[in-house]
Structure 1
Amino acid sequence: MYFEILNNGEIVPINKESLFCETEQVFVTSGYSELREKYSSSLFAATCVPTNFEKKEGNCQYITRANFCEEIKGLLACQVYDLPFPDVNEAAIILTEKPVTKTILIQNDSYIYGPFDYIDEIDPATNQHILHLKPISTPLNKIQQFHIGKIGIQKCIAYLSQNNHSHMTFLCNIKRIFENIDDTIDYITNDQIISTYGNRIAQNSEIRSFNKGTIAQIRKCYTSSQEFRTFPERFNRLFQSLEMAESWDNTRKDLMDSFLSIDKGKEILKKYIDENKEKYFREEKQSFLKKLQEDKLNQQQTFNELVNKKEQVEADIRKMLRARELFLFNGGQISTITITAEEKNKIEQKLSSRRKELDTLTAEVKVLEEKHSRFKKIEDLKNEIDDLERERDRYRDRKRQMEEQVEDVAKKLRESNEVLTSRLVQLKPDVDALCGLKPKAVFSSLDYNVITREISATESDEDTRENLINSVLDALNNRGRKTDYYTVANILTTIAQCQFTLFSGLPGTGKTSLAKILAASLGLQNRLLNIPVARGWTSSRDVLGFYNALSQSFIPSATGLFDLIRHLHYEMKEKIESAAPAIVLLDEFNLSQPEHYFSPFLEMADPESKRIILTGNPEEQHFQVPTYLRFLGTINQDESVQSLTPRLLDRAAIINFDDFEQDYDLSVVKSDTHKDLSISPITGNKFIDIFLPRSLEMTPDIERILQLIIETLRDDNPEFGTPVIVSYRKIKAIRSYHNVAGPMMYIESKYKALDYAVVQHILPLLNGYGQNFGNRLNTLLDNLPDEMERSHKLLRRIISTGNQNMFCYGANI
């Protein structure tokens, strides 16, 4: 035992304030094996009770159990190492054993430095632990981010504890002690420098390549900044890292050449070529086959010539043999026919020469027959390929015949439809006369054209985005809607990145009015379409319209959505780049079931969507919907509305309005919220582009928190009830939001953008039943950083409301 937590919450070394136990140990009555396995290499907290056994000298006075123990949280205690203070460029120490606390301190020359987070790496050669140090991710009150504290050891003596058995030293009450630090040290690591400032460099649209000139440009950009004057050493290390990275190309080439010159490199290269042989040798293979075909033809011709020559020689030999036999026969029977020895030798020599020639031709024919057999196999393969191609042609002909049959059937159906339609048209005047119907007057549609302002070519997307947020903020404040920069940045980023954005809250919290004032602040004029949703809407004909076959005309719905989408389709068709954004506001969005009346538009939430709306009108069969059309919805949280399904929640971002704005200007009641402030909007495409993320990567600390949230909700442990799956669509939306909103909100808190994203994308998914599901939500609450205030507040409200409603938990959306 090292420390004791007193009743007032103060932590003191064991046996210092009062005698706890002379042994400084606690006896574990049950679960010792489980406890040893779980906390074998970490410090933990144990709840102890006095023993009921007979107390003897040398025995433990207190006992505990495995289920009375838990991990220490925060900076209750840190292990202290007496080592030389490591240089920030190295930022590593070597130990024989891994620390037992998540954070550590370094003692050197009567000072204690820290606290440090660390990454443990084991050296396989020596089995030693190499700890890569970095400042803790959550700064203390007197210590800035990426800094560590320096404090004299005399200020810490009262809170230091060393166990005689383990010879380990610990310091408790870190937060209280480091309120009196002597100095702070900038201890930002090279990785943190790259992730912090490299991200800003990557988001700079003026930097499109990376070379020596780029490094000079970056150096010039930063040397005039206030941050450079505050932390010059950081930026010198950044510039040094960039120069090392720029010279890496030449170093990499030398390494590759050196590697490929050794046997191991040649072996790996040969293996790679073998694995990709089909890809890289396709042309060589075709050229070889062509040459093989030509060789085959030449060899076949030579073969045929040699066969003919062989047959001719064989015929000559047979002729000579017959002449010889006749000569011998006549020489034995007729004495008058004589032959000289010289003539006989000539005949024998000629015969021997012919036989040798025959043997040579026979050997050449044998060799050619072997080659011919290989060519024969190639010929068989070619014939098989020809058969397959003929079969393919037959199937193509059959497919064409079937398509012609389908076309004939479709033609007959169209002809039948035209006949029926013609008969209906003939009957329509009679029906109108009998019903007393009059022709409908033609109404002129609204003017959806808005003049947009031009953006300077020298103005970056970041500047355009910042100017837009500030202009909207000023317009909202002028119209009496008092709000702050971060709220406006959150709403604009969410609307630009999400196809569906829903304002949620109780009646009277200003959802609809804010949507209308926001559209006016953007200068949208008639391009904001307000649609009050009615109860009982069941299909798209209620919100869009339908085709009347009797009158041969399309009957638009009274919502005006058909006219707006037709105008936007015209802008897409004519490629009008200066078109302004457009917003459809669905007031009381969930008064009817959105999946029924709005189903054609839900598919647009997917990036793969073709964004096409089918009308059923033969004259205008479909409309192309541009990306700069966004849908806003206001939803209530009472029994009069429909609950949102997981399918819709997965496609929408929910902005909560339950916190009523106390500083809302009551004079807005008298002001005209629709008054034109002569605001010229930016183009719709520009509005979408300036809020597009440059990357989906996040810093390691933010990535760690996001993964912890996802894993906590996904954990299928029965103790946590039903798991909650966060889809890839939601994860991508959170990453996109954070990469755009994070730099804008970083000054307030590095977790603020993630806080907004979690509240709007993840917490609305939390719906479950039972105490076990409540345990899951409490675990999630413990894992969230304290800086995520919005997430903490909403999650506590969900837990509190669920506990009061028989453990029925939900976001009430």
Structure 2
Amino acid sequence: MKVGSLTESHEIFSYKNQRFSEQKFIICVRDERYEFNIKTIIAVENNKLIDLDEYEFENNLFATRPPYNNPHNIEDLSLNRFYINQLIKIDYGTIIENLGAENPNMPKVKTFNANINSFDTNQIIEFFEGNINEGDSLFTPNSANVFELIKNVYVESENCFFAIFENKLIGPFTALKVNENSFKIAKSTFKNFGEYKFNEKSFLEFKANEIIRKIYIETSNLSLIYHKEYRFISDEELLNEFEKELTNHPEYFNEISLENIKKIITKSSELKSLEKIINDNSRLEQLLQESKKMLIRNIDLINLIPEVKKIKEEKKQIEEELFIHNQQFEEITARKKDLQTEITILEETKTAELEKQKNEFHKEIEILETRKNNLEKEVEQNKLNLEKSLAKTREDIDYYERNKTELKTQIDNLKEDFKEEQKNAQISLQNLIKSKVHFDFISGRDLSEQESNTFIPQDFKINDQYKQNQYREFRNELVSILKQHNRNFETHFVDNLLISIFQNTLTIFAGVPGTGKTTLARILTNILTPEGKIREVSVNRGWSSQKDFIGFVNPLTKRFHSSSTDIYSLTKQMNEESKDKEIYLKTPMSFIILDEANLSPLEHYWSSFYNLTDSTGMLEVKLGHNETIKFPNNLRFIGTINYDHTTEELSPRVLDRINIIQLNKSEDIIFNNISSSKIKNIQLSYKRCIDFFELTDTNSVELKIEDRIEKGYKEIKSEFKKLKIFISPRVEIAIKRYITLASKYMSDVNKPLDYCVAQRLLPLINLQGSENKQRLESLKEQLKTNKCEISTLILEDIISIGSEKGIYEDSFNYFLTLSNV
């Protein structure tokens, strides 16, 4: 049934005097051209499909924001919370005339965006055309738009769909994961699985955003009727069934029984009742042969007239060769005729063209002779000018050499004077300290006993919004908040952000200036924790120790002086919380943003925390004069870096401990239009972070990696070994820990390994010499083989920069990809 042909003209649906509900709603989708418009499709009222009034809904429907101060406190819910082409419904409120639309092409009607909601699970079922690969349990849709729809709406959800395959309606299926241009699928329990009747009453057909869609919804107009069983079994399930038969009935598989069965099958091969068994045995035999099991000796399923098969193959090959030869003969004959015609034409025009060319050559020779004479005069004049310039340059060089010698002498003298003054100042300071000690002793004072200001901790305890098994709900809420602030990220990228930040003490956001690194760090931290648990530090050049970052102990007063970063107050808060396990488990994480983190060497000013990256349990930082800060592993650092002549390189010891997430400038982010509204804070305690991200001792977590991923990792590791780049045990453990968790959360099966290579291994590349280019090309091919798309793009940039002529020629360095130069 098609939209527009269901209802008589006098029964069509009008929006006027209608209030929408769960029993009366309009099915619609977002308009891909205009972000505030939606395309209305059909109405459902009292379990019946009704066509809409075409005139009223002629130019779609405008989803407007509610007034700032409205008496019913209606929320402003942007349409960005829905994916393009996702089916949605107007099931609340009313629709009214759009009086402000002066343009005739504007929608004639409007409603509040909060009145539009998504459908309940399996309230609507879609039919998708595509190919089913039963052996690998894969579904490949025929349309790229349908692929994106399934990826964004159906993967990781309970929503099911039916497949139209070989003109049959088969299902229902659920989509488990993305596998290149296909989806890993499984049978859904929503309805009986099998083949369903496929006719006009099975579905509603409509066209929206240039895509023809087929859907089913429980109404009196449509009926989805089970037809017959459809056998859908993967290779793995087939092997398991066969293994079970072998275990339960070994007497069926001896040599004598198998020969008798073979004879019966040979005599009865034309019976339709054996088609199913023959098909399964053929697949089973192929699987057993591939896995090289010894069972092939007992099952003779493939020796079915090999001579005939061989003759057919030879016949087919001869026919293909004959066809190719006939094509070649026809092409040669046609080419011969063309060449004969060309030869005739060339002979006719050859004489005239040669004469014409001769005259043109004579003219060119005369012109070139004149230019030659002029150039000789210019060269002679330039030679004289250069000789004069050279003499002047030599005089300048002699003058600057003399100045250089004089300046060097003056600098050396100033250095000696400076050293002497430093030495005298040190002696004076030591004498002053001795004098003060004597004075304190005589006066009976001891400043170390003076009372310090009492620190009053704040109460940040919360009640978690999400349960232990609700990570995906938490992640989807975070994706929605990021969208409201113009950060439209894929779910797997948000998974990567969260896993990297929580599994590592320090995570680096890298990229050229203008990619929104610091802004993203601010938005993320404000979503994950209260403002009082965040410190943003602008790193300055020349920072060399803890005193610049946290503060220092005054040797005269023996008291601690906090630096301007205000990190000391945050550590004191964490120290107080650590005294009670119940308090710090119910308290959100603490975050410190290091803006321009590499303006000074990280291992110098960050040294107090640098040594804690491998620690577990309660952590400890010594501030001096018997003052120590203790806190659990609930502090995370997010650094941003650029790469140019003003910044410091990250040392190998730092690279060994961090994830570097490279941000590219996205066209989706319009920095002038970033929302200034208050960022919604998700209540997430340290206890829930432990549950979601397995923040426990590595030895207590079982690191499980799929064989396919582990094989790919070993191949890539082998390529790094050829480049003489060492991958430390610390990095290997971090990679396995990341992949174990990411494989559980990410919907794309190739992304866990891809992100690990891009963020942990590629930053180790810092090679010199043209001989390394070929080895890097070999690594790139290995990355492509393992579907590491992000890593491949970064490596291509590294190779491209090192291959260019200039100062970076034959320099293959990951950090050069972060520079604008």
Q: Scaled by the length of structure 1, what TM-score is found?
A: 0.46
Q: Scaled by the length of structure 2, what TM-score is found?
A: 0.45
- Structure having the higher Rg: 1
